[in-house]
Chains A and B, each alone.
Chain A
Amino acid sequence: MSTRLPLYRMLNAPLGLEDESELDYVFRSHEGIDPGATALSNGQYTLGKNSDWNPAEHPLTVQCLIERTQLLEVIFGPGGVANTDAKVFLALEWASADSCWRTLGPVYGLWNVEGKSVVLDIELGAGTIRGSGLLSIQAFLGQQSADLIPGFAHQPGARLGPLAYPIDIVIDGDGSLFPVLEESLGVEGPLWELKACWSDPQDEPFSSDYVALVLNSTHPHFELLRDRRTLNSEQSPLMRQVFATWLSLVIFQVKKDMGADFDTYLGAPDADEGIASIADAVRSFIRLGDLNTSALPELFVSTQCWLDRRVREVESAA
């Protein structure tokens, strides 16, 4: 084993270890869309909770507020990395192997002067991030001290290390998504339709490439699908009826496509490492909802009852 020794004093994430008020992260997007960030343990932030935010469509802006007094102490204090007359640059750094890129946000120039909290931000463009990525606060030497002091970096631009442990921003995981699309089908078009273009329900994933509930965004009743009275814009009663019908149609279609294999498939145990196929999803619906697939009318009835039951459960848990 071997260890690289730094040539000058460097930071090793001195902030945020004990007092979390030293740092605060805020996530935003454009057009008033809240990315739905949630802090988990171990510095992990997830996105998308109760949100319309879509990484393919919306940018992500992260803002970091740093309490100034403590910041000056760790940089210019006795154990710091720069002399008190030096200037240090601070910036947020995004690095993501999944997204295949890294970048620095706008630089903040810091002198050893008391003042307001430091605010750093970085914008990650729509369609540029995926998987997960690390966001860290990096310090650089901006302007060297007048005196050459052993142990301090003196080349402008030299990295002085991270001010805090990086946070891990999770964009993609394995959280379930229902394939719902919004499309302009015209004022005269249907309120919704079933997109079913699978060729093999056992071999194609339950995703909008193969199956989707398409909502007509230009239909006069489109707005009635969302219940605007609730804070999170839950689905309206009309939407639940649309959804129940759609589910019944998909289940019925898959049953028809699979023919005699359908009953065998229903009885088989869940695959541990499957592709979450359309057939897997249908099996899951039938099991979770105890749906009656013997005939379409019975299926409609049992699906509606299941959805109403689930809504009540979710509402009572909220």
Chain B
Amino acid sequence: MKYHALPLRPMQESGAFLLRALQNEETPLLDLLVRESIQNALDAGRSGNQELPVTVNFHIREHSVDAIASTFSEGLDLQTLRARYVRTPKLLEIRDSGTEGLTGPMTFDNVEANGQHGNFLKLVFEIGRTRADDAAGGSWGLGKTCYFRMGAGLVIYYSRIKAADGYEERLVASLVEDESHVDRLQRTTQTGIAWWGAEHSMQAITAPNHIHEILKTLGAQPFTGTATGTAIIIPLLKENLLPVFDEEGRPAPWWYSSCEDYVNVAIQRWFSARLDNPFFASGRYLRALVNDAEITSADMLPIFRVNQCLYDRAAAEFPAQEDYLTAIGVKSDDALCKFINLRGEFVGNGPAGWLLAVALTPRQLQMDAPDNVPSPETCVFSKSDSGVPHRPLVTFMRSAGMNICWDDSIDSRSWAGGFAGFTDGRYLVALFLPDSEQELLPSAARGLRSNVQNLEGYLRSCERADHAAWVDVNGGRVVEKIRAQCGRALKDFGLPVQPSVTVKPSMRMSRKLAELVLPSRGYGGDGRFGKAAPRAASGQGSGSGSGSRGVAVPSPELEITDVRYTVSAIVMKWCLRWGMLRPSSPREITVSVDSEAGPITFSSWLDSELGVFPFRLGLPQIDTALPAVECKEIAEGSGIRLIVDAEAVQIGLLVTGELQIRMTEFGGKLLRPVVGVRISDSSGGKE
């Protein structure tokens, strides 16, 4: 393959810089690699069939130095290579399938203005360029630098993608090494960064035969048929990739025996919610294999099965009665499921997410014989059990389903709120799952975007390149509030407050001291000053004048001023405010029958075939000295039409009179009349 060294230019990154770019020296390399590679694979598989898993296979095997020497002879100092790798080196192949592969243009010349750079350019040739969508796992484009730290710095990218006219294969390699190192592999380099690719330009080779030859020397298989995906091949692995188990006098757990075993547990550690979990709610679930051996949910260490179960209870529609926690005998009292609500952060009223926690005995975690599973602390942190009380274990994740970190702090401001653990030896395991779709209130002052941003996007912006923590952006307090709420809930769960019969408020002292040092209102809910002061009026004054006598009203209003009773009638005195809405139209006084569902009008009564209408209005006596009022019976006596000469209608016109409501013998004395007024029009009355 053709060697393309990166020349030194102004502001040019160097190999030494890239090897430090992730700024995470505390997390074991294999953990970083698992987090980065699976996250990339899951991101590349987002557009695929949602019913099928994204498959990621980790292969670790030996390879010959000759395979490297023959393929990368141009540019490599072969003498140094053979001197550094006297023993047969190993390679790691991370192969994802069912993903879209390294798509997009292969050179920057092919990128259109403001166009997409695509997976290929971002992964192989770029640093710091990230995916634009909020739900993507990656956010910084720096995570891939961990590949170069796994071995000599050589990384081979092989991919098969769906092209417009069939399939296309691509293979390219890059080397990132400390340019100042005495036993560097490149003969001459100013930056320590180089690529191997096509003959005439710095891009991937695409000839299948050539690619397959190279793969064969490395023991890798090409993608065939309709398969698409990516294989990251990291040869010349370091021999000391396994972290040191620094616990004097204690045996290392079984996964410290080989890189394969360690990778197996690391996958469980970071992707427990998504691994072999068809109920995963926000994307395709993960199918992971190590040297072709699949990690099933049933194979997972108990602590990680618990974590998956907590996720399912929060996000998936999986019946809790049949899940793993129920199977190991977790009672409802030993589990917590709680909404985490924040005040004043979201556009709507929904929660920030869900907090789930469970208290587990060592037996439930299979720590007793004959299983003798290592303790949760060992599984998560690869350190010995700290003894009773065990520190709480809290994890949290975005929708991508990767555990951001496992927090076991007992600080009062930590995720567990200072809960130091159960004194009876149980373990507290908890998970916070945010509600990604919650929209944050825009606030540039709090460091948030001035436009609407969802919680997922905000939390993504709170992650550093290694995705190992959420730290609020300057001015923002969302993460702080979530952590505080989770801490309070977990502390209460771990140390439930015992209701004390001896505690009672000292009301008089509370009132007296408040009067001494607090504003009289606002710091409590006491009623001694009357009802809560109303908020400042937002609209106009309340004196709209409705119903006030003699004031112009738009619609007609009928006021009953007196009621008298006779043997079979109710006599009412009334006052009609004519109203200024269509003043020339007649007004109609009607009587209906009261009912639970509202007044039943004459027409509804008849339509419902309820028999004879129980009320009948007599013609009214008009008191007003207004000669032009004409009265007319309508609707078989269930209404009276009042007609006034249009010229006589003035603002504030009042018509008063007396009206008799006669009750028929068919139940009229048991039914309650409702009288009203409406404007008459040709198309029927309208109240």
Binding site for B on A (CB under 8 A): 1-9, 36, 38, 40, 44, 46-54, 57, 132, 150-151, 170-184, 199-200, 203, 206-208, 213-215, 217, 225-226, 232-235, 239, 243, 247, 272-273, 275-276, 280-281, 284-285, 288-289, 306-307, 310-311, 314
Contacts and interface: CB of A to CB of B under 8 A. Distances in A.
B674 A3 contact: yes
B514 A177 contact: yes
Contact of A1 (B485, B511, B558): B558
Q: Which of A176, A234, A247, A314 has the most CB of B within 10 A?
A: A176
Contacts of A44: 530-531
A5 B572 contact: yes
Contacts of B488: 199
B86 interface: no
19 contacts: A2-B592, A2-B674, A3-B674, A5-B675, A46-B527, A46-B528, A46-B529, A51-B528, A173-B525, A173-B530, A174-B533, A176-B523, A177-B511, A177-B514, A178-B512, A178-B514, A181-B504, A307-B517, A314-B515
Contacts of A306: 517
B528 A47 contact: yes
Contacts of B528: 36, 38, 46-49, 51, 173, 175
B524 A52 contact: no
B371 to A, nearest CB: 38
Contact of A180 (B509, B519, B523, B560): B509
A173 B675 contact: no
A4 B516 contact: no
B512 A170 contact: no
Given A5-B675, A51-B508, A176 B514 contact: yes
Contacts of A183: 500, 502-504
B531 A182 contact: no
B507 A54 contact: yes
B384 to A, nearest CB: 31
A276 B412 CA distance: 23
A215 B504 CA distance: 10
Contacts of A225: 509
Contact of A310 (B517, B563, B674, B675): B517
A177 B526 contact: yes
Interface in B566-591: 566-567, 570, 572
B522 A176 contact: yes
Contact of B672 (A7, A280, A284): A7
A54 B555 CA distance: 49
Contact of B529 (A1, A8, A173, A180): A173
A174 B507 contact: no
Interface in B454-499: 480-481, 484-485, 487-488
A175 B519 contact: no
Contact of B507 (A6, A46, A53, A285): A53
Contacts of A284: 518-519, 523
Contact of A2 (B343, B526, B676): B676
Given A150-B565, A177-B524, A215-B506, A3 B517 contact: no
Interface in B628-687: 661, 669-670, 672-677, 687
A176 B570 contact: no
A281 B523 contact: yes
A134 B523 CA distance: 25
Contacts of A150: 565-567
Nearest to A246: B513
A83 to B, nearest CB: 13
Given A151-B565, A215-B506, 13 more contacts: A2-B674, A2-B675, A5-B570, A7-B669, A48-B527, A52-B507, A177-B525, A180-B506, A183-B503, A183-B504, A199-B487, A203-B484, A310-B517
A252 B485 CA distance: 23
Nearest to B502: A184
A201 to B, nearest CB: 10
Contacts of B558: 1, 3
A173 B527 CA distance: 4
Contacts of B677: 1
B557 interface: yes
B557 A1 contact: yes
Contacts of B515: 176, 314
Nearest to A36: B528
Nearest to B487: A199
Contacts of A276: 522-524
Contacts of A288: 517
A36 B510 CA distance: 14
A199 B484 contact: yes
Contacts, number: 220
Q: Which of A182, A217, A307 has the most CB of B within 10 A?
A: A182
A178 B513 contact: yes
Contacts of B487: 199
Contacts of A234: 512
Interface in B382-405: none
Contacts of B514: 175-178
Contacts of A51: 507-508, 511, 528
A122 B566 CA distance: 37
Contacts of B509: 178, 180, 215, 225-226, 235, 239
B532 interface: yes
Given A5-B570, A7-B672, A199-B484, A173 B506 contact: no
Contact of A177 (B412, B523, B535, B675): B523
Given A3-B675, A200-B481, A175 B526 contact: yes
B599 interface: yes
Contacts of A53: 507
Contact of A199 (B417, B567, B661): B417
Contacts of A172: 525-527
Contacts of A226: 509
B676 A176 contact: no
B506 to A, nearest CB: 4
B594 interface: yes
Contacts of B200: none
Contact of B508 (A50, A173, A273): A50
Interface string B413-453: 10001000000000000000000000000000000000000
A52 B508 contact: yes
B87 interface: no
A131 to B, nearest CB: 9
A206 B513 contact: no
A174 B518 CA distance: 12
A176 B518 contact: yes
A273 B464 CA distance: 35
A2 B506 contact: no
Given A9-B565, A46-B529, A208 B505 contact: yes
B82 interface: no
Contact of B531 (A173, A176, A273): A173
B564 interface: yes
Contacts of B504: 54, 57, 181-183
Among all A-B residue pairs, the 7 with the closest Cβ atoms = A151-B565, A177-B524, A2-B676, A175-B526, A48-B528, A178-B513, A184-B502
Q: Which of A50, A177, A182, A289 has the most CB of B within 10 A?
A: A177
B520 interface: yes
Contacts of B216: none
B210 interface: no
A4 B512 CA distance: 49
B505 A54 contact: yes
